[in-house]
Amino acid sequence: MYDAALMTAHRILAMICGQPPEAIEVAHGDYLGWFEEAMGPRVSLTPWDVRNRVNEPTIGDFAGMVITGAPSSLTKPESWMEHAIELIRQAAETGMPVLGVCFGHQLIGCAFGAPTTPVPGEGEHGTHSISLNESGKNDPLFAGMSDSFLAHLTHYDEVDPTAVSYSNGLRVLAQSSECAVQALAAGDNIRSVQYHPEFSTTLMQRYLDEHDTGKAALECGEASLVFKNWIDHWIVNKAS
């Protein structure tokens, strides 16, 4: 069984599910670097690319797991995606804390029976308002945060809101005007967000410019507090 007290202090497995477009990676680095900067020095991230399954880690060796975004889509399944879903289920069985972001959020939905579906229209890109529901307002992931806050997003898919229910252990925590499932809780230890708390405003602007949207990214520092809250509640508290 998972026991945070026995883990190397705050050592987190980073499940890497993809990489940025080449021009963005050259200018701004890779997913791991973004997460390391946003999550800060209290955790040490060990990256593992789930797509190639080389040197697969033992999840029980870590205090928690974060799951990155990806340009891939669960509406176009690849073999590695099912393995990623199975690892999430293993983590759930052992009580391991997990935090998924964007594609990682959608993987968590799929792991608990809520499939991914395309967002109507052109998807959601840029800085948007996220609204917490009553469940979200009372969840440790959003402790100390406003009921409504700005966040950076770029996605074409979403967790199917019609498939989220207490019967499969999922709770919606937040939504936006274009996406009904901006954050999920799966039991006590698994959380996910559709938006990108690891994005800086500069990085969001680069994505918008790459897609020639004509939009301007806005400052939204509050959105990244989910990392602090996740570390405080699920990593530090469990290890003490």
Write out the catalytic residue numbers.
102, 196, 198
- With a CB cutoff of 8 Å and minimum separation 6, the contacts of 95 are 1, 2, 188, 189
**For residues 68 and 106, is the Cβ–Cβ distance under 8 A?**
no
Q: Strand 190-193 to strand 11-16: parallel, antiparallel, or no bridges (unpaired)?
A: unpaired
**Most distant CA pair in the chain, distance:** 50
Q: How many CB atoms lie within 10 A of CB 152?
A: 25
The rounded Cα 12 to chain-centroid distance in angstroms is: 14
Residue count of the chain: 240
Could you give the CA distance from residue 198 to residue 32 in angstroms, rounded to a whole number?
10
User: Is the Cα torsion angle 138, 185, 192, 209 positive or negative in sign?
Assistant: negative
Q: How far apart are CA 208 and CA 145, in angstroms?
A: 26
Q: Helix 103-111 crosses helix 79-94 at what angle (to 10 degrees)?
A: 70
